[in-house]
A and B are shown apart, each in its own frame.
Chain A
Amino acid sequence: MSAPSLPPVLRVSNLVKHFPIRRGVLGRQVGAVHAVDEVSFELYSGRSLGLVGESGSGKTTTGRTVMGLVQPTSGTVELDGVRVTGASDRRQLARAMSMVFQDPLGSLNPRLSAIANVAEPLRVHRIGSAAERRQRAIDLLGQVGLRADQGERVPAEFSGGQRQRIGIARALALSPKVMLLDEPASALDVSVQAQVLNLLRDLQNQLGVAFLFISHDLSVVRHLCDRVAVMYLGKIVEVGDRDEVYDHPLHPYTKALLSAVPIPDPDLRRERIVLSGDLPSPVNPPSGCRFRTRCAWAQDICATQEPELRTRTAGGQLVACHFAAELAGVSGARVVRPDAIDPIGGRP
């Protein structure tokens, strides 16, 4: 593992978030959505960790809980070794951790100019005079490739890619140590995506900010992140260095995800691993290994004992599967359950 010897700038331990479900006139709690269950990971300064998973995997909730926008049910988040969970003082936290959102237009205040939007964090924290804030905003906009004369326009007058840059500039205003990026490229056209991602990488190299990058798009994550964590139904099922995970996925879910990533080679014939069934409801997750209902290799033990996330092979990545070692060589092979339904389409 190529983890640096410095301690992590962000450490998440056993983070849990359950959303209560209330019914009836009095709002009795009748159940809970297990959005995030015992999620732990580390983020190092100047590096990027990609958190991938499909919708409903809990990655967005994880991000928001780490940011402090959502209160965790249990678990801790440490920033530079200091506990920040449950802190009522979001203000302090906000200076070290900022966020870039998925919807570039929606995440900017429509009434404020680009400069004003970027300067908002400075205004909220009362840093500098109005003129100083303005200048800093202009500098930041320059760093993301926007000119000062464009700065007076409102978000509606910019293109999607430009708006996202403004969002990034705003996130940099307080010189954060950690930046959470929640699907920052998903709403953009593919050509623009590349520009934004490259910008992010350059910024990271210049400023040393750590990125927590949430996405469902595996190819984007591959482009930008050093390490990858795969989430399924509120749990991390695999985590490790990017190349390790992409080249040698160990968890059946990861293998299935990767087999679906388009490879621009028309002659290549791949076999797709097909997931059977639908995503189970997070209100009632399956016992034992949560993935077992869709896993082609599930055995009895998968229903009774939940697999720990730990190193099981020489490769060094952490994986939560009882049979990771046995299945290590199985990548791309197709073993289908008789009652398979293919939600993605294609051969049964």
Chain B
Amino acid sequence: MTATPAAPAAPTQSTPRRRSTVGRKFLHTTPGVVGAVVLLLMAIVAIAAPLIAPFDPLLRAGSALQGPNAQHWFGTDELGRDLFSRVVYGAQLSLETAVGAAAFACLVGLPLGVLSGYLGGVVDAIVMRITDFVLAVPGILFALVVVAILGSGVLNLTLAIGIGAIPAFIRLARASTLSLREREYVLAARSMGASRFDIMFRTVTPNIMGPIIVQIIVTASVAILVAAALSFIGLGTPPPAPSWGGMLQTSRSYLYQQVWYAVLPGVALAVTIAALDGVGRGMQTALGTRGPGRAKVGGMG
């Protein structure tokens, strides 16, 4: 509903470059490189969790609430489970949710935005009003209410966050499509007799992918935050699953005994989110687009 210039500017068409130039530019950005490295490590950890985690995250492995020591690098939690293993599996959970939510939001939001931008008229009006409504509810709250209705669980959580992230994609795709619609090569495609569908999805869409990719990364970052926040207040992934947010919640009761319990999952969260943010900023610089601010995607504690 709003289009104040202060807020994210309408994204420009991603200027096409050979992919090698984009890659090279990306590698010159500090946030990009650092973020990518960290993210890669996180991804490896998440995927190879069974190989990396020394203990089963769900089973008791020693006495409760130990501090970090040689056997348990992060210590143990209140049930004696190895904290390091739980954090490692937590990475798996977080990244699953992040990728799931971002992919879902993109798959739904991108086509809707392109349709809305290209066809205009009634389609546009309806899509925009629905978008305005969803955006009127802060991200966390929206996910909260959806989870309240659907029930908790990883899938519902991912869905809830994903739905809340759809409007950002719609807006982005729509704005990009609007700016491309009058370009001469779109006109040329029309003059060739291409169908509207063809133009929308084979001519316009590939040319807007730059900002979309940035948006995917930003969405993933916000998804991790929101998932953790919801798990923290007990509405996300239910125990005994090792969610970082859930761990932080439980840790509150044991601040005196095992302070690292409250610190380490938080560090994991912050590092992963920061890594995604970094990659996002690096991509923005490399593609030369001014992407949306995180504010618009509604991520907050």
Chain A residues within 8 Å of B, Cβ to Cβ: 67, 69, 90-95, 98-99, 101-103, 106-111, 120-121, 124-125, 154, 156, 167, 170, 174
Contact = CB atoms under 8 A, between A and B. Distances in A.
Given A111-B207, A124-B198, A156-B16, A106 B193 contact: no
Contacts of A98: 191-192
Nearest to A106: B184
Contact of A91 (B17, B187, B193): B193
27 contacts: A67-B191, A69-B187, A69-B190, A69-B191, A91-B193, A93-B193, A94-B191, A95-B193, A98-B191, A98-B192, A99-B191, A103-B184, A106-B184, A108-B185, A108-B188, A109-B185, A109-B207, A110-B185, A111-B16, A120-B189, A120-B192, A120-B194, A121-B192, A124-B189, A124-B198, A154-B18, A167-B188
B183 interface: yes
Nearest to B193: A94
Interface string B169-194: 00000000000000111011111111
Nearest to A109: B185
A113 B203 CA distance: 13
A121 B187 CA distance: 13
B206 interface: yes
Contacts of A94: 191-193
Interface in B190-239: 190-195, 198, 203, 206-207
Given A109-B203, A109-B207, A111-B206, A90 B193 contact: yes
A110 B190 contact: no
Given A91-B195, A120-B189, A124-B198, 20 more contacts: A69-B191, A90-B190, A91-B193, A92-B193, A94-B192, A94-B193, A101-B184, A106-B184, A107-B187, A108-B185, A108-B188, A109-B203, A111-B16, A111-B207, A120-B192, A121-B193, A124-B194, A125-B192, A156-B17, A167-B188
A110 B187 contact: no
A136 B189 CA distance: 19
A30 B107 CA distance: 42
Contact of A101 (B17, B187, B198, B206): B187
Contact of B188 (A99, A111, A125): A99
A58 to B, nearest CB: 18
Interface string B251-288: 00000000000000000000000000000000000000
A336 B75 CA distance: 98
Contacts of B18: 154
Determine chain B's interface SS by DSSP, over half rule.
Answer: helix
A86 B187 CA distance: 18
Contact of A124 (B16, B185, B187, B193): B193
B41 to A, nearest CB: 33
A125 B184 CA distance: 20
Nearest to A99: B191
Most B C-beta atoms less than 10 A away, residue of A69, A90, A103, A109: A109
A109 B15 CA distance: 11
Contacts of B206: 111
Contacts of A120: 189, 192, 194
A118 to B, nearest CB: 11
A111 B22 CA distance: 13
A94 B190 CA distance: 9
A110 B193 contact: no
Interface in B149-166: none
Contacts of A110: 15-16, 185, 207
A91 B189 CA distance: 11
Contacts of B17: 156
A235 to B, nearest CB: 25
Contacts of B189: 109, 120, 124
Most A C-beta atoms less than 10 A away, residue of B191, B206, B207: B191
A156 B203 CA distance: 17
Contacts of B188: 99, 101, 107-109, 167, 170
Nearest to A108: B185
Contact of B16 (A91, A106, A154): A154
A91 B190 CA distance: 9
Contacts of A106: 183-185
A30 B287 CA distance: 44
B193 A125 contact: yes
Nearest to A107: B184
Contacts of A124: 189, 192-195, 198
Contacts of A99: 188, 191
A156 B185 CA distance: 14
Contacts of B194: 120, 124
B179 to A, nearest CB: 13
Contacts of A67: 191
Nearest to B203: A109
A186 to B, nearest CB: 13
A166 B190 CA distance: 17
Contacts of B192: 94, 98, 120-121, 124-125, 174
Nearest to A167: B188
A120 B193 CA distance: 10
B17 to A, nearest CB: 8
Contacts of A167: 188
Contacts of A121: 192-193
Contacts of A174: 192
A112 B190 CA distance: 17
